[in-house]
Amino acid sequence: MRNLNISIFASGTGSNFEAILKAKKKGLIKSTIALLITNNSQCGAVEIARKNSIDVVHISRKVYPELSEEKYTEIFLNVLKTYNIDFIVLAGYMKLLPPSLVDEYENRIINIHPALLPSFGGKGMYGINVHRAVLESGVKVTGITIHFVNKEYDKGRIIFQKCVEIYPDDDEYSLQKRVLKYEHKYYPLIISELEKHLL
């Protein structure tokens, strides 16, 4: 039985990508991390991929401004087919995936969100914006949500949630740091569980 091939999609620093790679090196994740797709060729995730000899493909509307939605989606699908990708893991990817791609990989794309969905989700709710909104709301608990991806931001079926306490002296940066620790701990664990069902 062959291992699954995973493609990571990332736009930012790549800290969750790094946590996934560490889990892979420890043997927790059996799948092959075959590819990084990014819309930001200068992001930290690209550097992490190169250090780990993982191929990087840059796909962005800035690169292909003239293409129709259909042709643009074909670029993603052709790359994923070339690498024989079974499973897509979004790790700080800042773009909505093309609808046809979501259809093609139904129940095989997951994302992690730094709050307890359905609260504090949707367009523009990413990174520090989420933690700022959480603190401004006055809630006492935040957390992480790992979910399947559908055609709307943060609306896919929830797989796993974990609460993170908010301290009275938290600002958005201290809260982000603490939530990230939970992301790094639980995202690889959920990937490990899911791959067993996909094999």
- Active centre residues (catalytic): 113
- Tokens coding 132: 């700022």
- Tokens coding 93: 């990817």
3-state SS, residue 34: strand
Question: Are the CB atoms for 159 and 110 separated by under 8 Å?
Answer: yes
Pairing type for strands 109-113 and 87-90 reads parallel
Q: Around Cβ 64, how many Cβ atoms within 10 Å?
A: 12
198 sits in which H/E element:
helix 172-198
Question: Are the CB atoms for 149 and 156 separated by under 8 Å?
Answer: yes
